[in-house]
Amino acid sequence: MSEEIRVAVVTGGGRGIGKGIVEQLCTDGYAVVVADLDPATAQSTADEMTAKGFKAVSAAGDVSKREDHDKFVKAAIDSFGRLDTYINNAGIAQIKTLQEETLEDMERIYGINVFGTLFGIQAATAQFRQQDDGDKVRKIINASSIAGHIAFDLLGAYSSTKFAVRGLTQAAAKELGSEHITVNAYCPGIVGTDMWELIDEKMVDIKGGQKGQYLEQYSQLITLGRVQTPADVANYVSYLASSKSDYMTGQAVQIDGGIQFI
């Protein structure tokens, strides 16, 4: 067993929060597989990391497909020889009332946010079981949300997927604890990424108003008085991916600048 290298897969690692996590884990000494649906952003993020002297490779794939997670794991093994941490970060949002949701909408968002997380848990666990790691703790880390604790209107389907991610996190933690695998989730608040650009744009379409208005309005809820950055999320994920969190499992902590106090 190699003690020197720690290897992570980060899904949705090409941009936004995922890219922030890739940067932080590289700084922490991880070798990282940047896994993303978009091969170009995956490659450019991996290239940025290698240009800084870090170890990173890209892998293109769709988290809603079970077999693509095997590709991400294979990239970790082929490039770096092992897997320590699997981060199910990729996710999408949809802005609609529940009344407007179609079967197709629900299959799409559940396919990515929920099945994608389950498939990542399965692929990582299969690999961990093949490694001779003794009592070394391996980590699965999932993206939930503050919307996974209290649902938001117009984000009803999305919120329900993020509740489901918390459920999967708890159940997987219970099933895998005896195998030295921890499973935790991070629950960001309002992070200034393309996802929030989309949410703001769609809210303008539905409710009227100006571009940026809804991001501004929701940002008023933040106790610390500023929109969250991917680095704010990545700092916490860094802890979850480190041995400092070895005694923590099944948790879904809100890292949101103080929006929700539950």
Q: Which residues sit at the interface with ligand NAD, rule CB under 6 A?
A: 11-12, 14-18, 36-38, 41, 62-64, 89-92, 112, 143, 145, 188, 190-191, 193-196
E strand map for 53-137 = 56-60, 85-88
- Please report how close the Cβ of residue 148 comes to ligand NAD at its closest, in angstroms: 8
E strand map for 126-230 = 138-143, 181-188
Produce one character per residue of 104-113: b if its CB has 16 or more CB atoms within 10 Å, e if not.
eeeeebbbbb
Task: Considering the complex, state which of residue 61 and residue 176 has its C-beta at the smaller distance from ligand NAD.
Answer: 61
- Please report how close the Cβ of residue 133 comes to ligand NAD at its closest, in angstroms: 27
Task: Considering the complex, state which of residue 31 and residue 34 has its C-beta at the smaller distance from ligand NAD.
Answer: 34
| DSSP code, position 166 | H
Q: Cα separation of 35 and 39, whole Å? A: 8
As given in the structure block, the two tokens for residue 212 are: 């940026």
Q: State the residue for tokens 């980590």.
A: 139
- Please report how close the Cβ of residue 134 comes to ligand NAD at its closest, in angstroms: 32
Q: Rounded to 5 degrees, what are φ and ψ at 87? A: -110, 110
Task: Considering the complex, state which of residue 133 and residue 204 has its C-beta at the smaller distance from ligand NAD.
Answer: 204
- Whether the CB-CB separation of 188 and 233 falls below 8 Å is answered with yes
CA 1, chain centre distance (Å): 27
Neighbouring C-beta atoms of residue 62, cutoff 10 Å: 17
- Please report how close the Cβ of residue 70 comes to ligand NAD at its closest, in angstroms: 14
**DSSP run (H or E) holding 48:** helix 39-51
- Please report how close the Cβ of residue 163 comes to ligand NAD at its closest, in angstroms: 12
Task: Considering the complex, state which of residue 63 and residue 137 has its C-beta at the smaller distance from ligand NAD.
Answer: 63
Which residues carry out catalysis?
Answer: 158, 162
Task: Considering the complex, state which of residue 14 and residue 84 has its C-beta at the smaller distance from ligand NAD.
Answer: 14
